[in-house]
Amino acid sequence: MKQFRLVQADDAEVYRDGVWVRYDAASLVVGDIIRVVEGDVIPADCVVLSLGMDHVDLEGGGSPSEETITVDSRLVTGEERPRQIPQHKTSEVEQSTLFYGSRVLDGAAICVVTATGDRVVLSKLIKQQRWPPTSDLTEEVTEIGRLEMQNEEISIEMT
């Protein structure tokens, strides 16, 4: 339980009704747009839309950013080192997926929530009795995330 408390997010910054507001992390739903910054615990499984604090390029236009976000997922996946996620314009989900319970070490990102509650990768690992990790589960976690994304249709609505 002590280790689980380390991966729990208290709240989340969510884009609702045209403004950024703080909500209880348990109130997030699939499709919510959230902003994560240095020091935050990722409040749900999500995919990076844009790096930085303000801009979300939903149309895919414009020039790619040189920014990165550094995320420590070792308490979730058992990976040895934090990951640096660069801004990219590919469909490779594993490069831009952030998992519930990971911690942002550096940078900021705007993301879309892909799973909450018992649908997050961490919950699946707990059900499989594979958490806390005793080895690097990065590949398995990536595959679980990919399968979950295929099973969910996520619509992004910005008003």
> What is the model's pLDDT at position 66?
56
How many CB atoms are located within 10 Å of the residue 120 CB? 25
Asked if residue 156 belongs to a domain, the reply is: no
* Pairwise CA distance, residues 43 & 13, whole Å: 9
Q: What is the pLDDT of residues 23-35, one digit of tens each?
A: 898 899 999 999 9
Asked if residue 121 belongs to a domain, the reply is: yes
With H, G, I as helix, E, B as strand and everything else as coil, classify residue 59.
coil
Asked if residue 159 belongs to a domain, the reply is: no
Provide the residue range defining the domain that includes 114.
Answer: 2-151
**Reported confidence tier of residue 46, pLDDT bands at 50, 70, 90:** very high
Asked if residue 97 belongs to a domain, the reply is: yes
By mean pLDDT, which of 41-45, 48-52, 75-79, 113-117 is the weakest?
75-79
Q: Is the pLDDT of residue 118 over 60?
A: yes
Q: In what order do the strands lie in the sheet with 103-106?
A: 83-86, 68-72, 103-106
pTM over 0.85: no
Query: How would you classify the pairing of strands 11-16 and 19-24?
Result: antiparallel
Classify residue 126 by its DSSP letter: H
Counts of helices then strands in the chain (DSSP H, E):
5, 9
With H, G, I as helix, E, B as strand and everything else as coil, classify residue 33.
strand
* Pairwise CA distance, residues 137 & 76, whole Å: 8
**Reported confidence tier of residue 115, pLDDT bands at 50, 70, 90:** very high
Asked if residue 157 belongs to a domain, the reply is: no
How many domains would you assign to the chain?
1
* Pairwise CA distance, residues 77 & 136, whole Å: 6
> What is the model's pLDDT at position 157?
47
What is the percent of the chain with per-residue pLDDT over 70, rounded to a whole number?
Answer: 65
Q: What is the pLDDT of residues 83-112, one digit of tens each?
A: 888 765 544 444 588 999 999 999 999 999
Asked if residue 77 belongs to a domain, the reply is: yes
Q: Is the pLDDT of residue 64 over 60?
A: no
Asked if residue 33 belongs to a domain, the reply is: yes
**Reported confidence tier of residue 60, pLDDT bands at 50, 70, 90:** very low
Sequence-separated (6 or more) residues with CB below 8 Å from residue 48: 69, 85, 96, 97, 98, 109, 110, 111
Residue 19: CATH number of its domain: 2.70.150.10
How many CB atoms are located within 10 Å of the residue 135 CB? 10
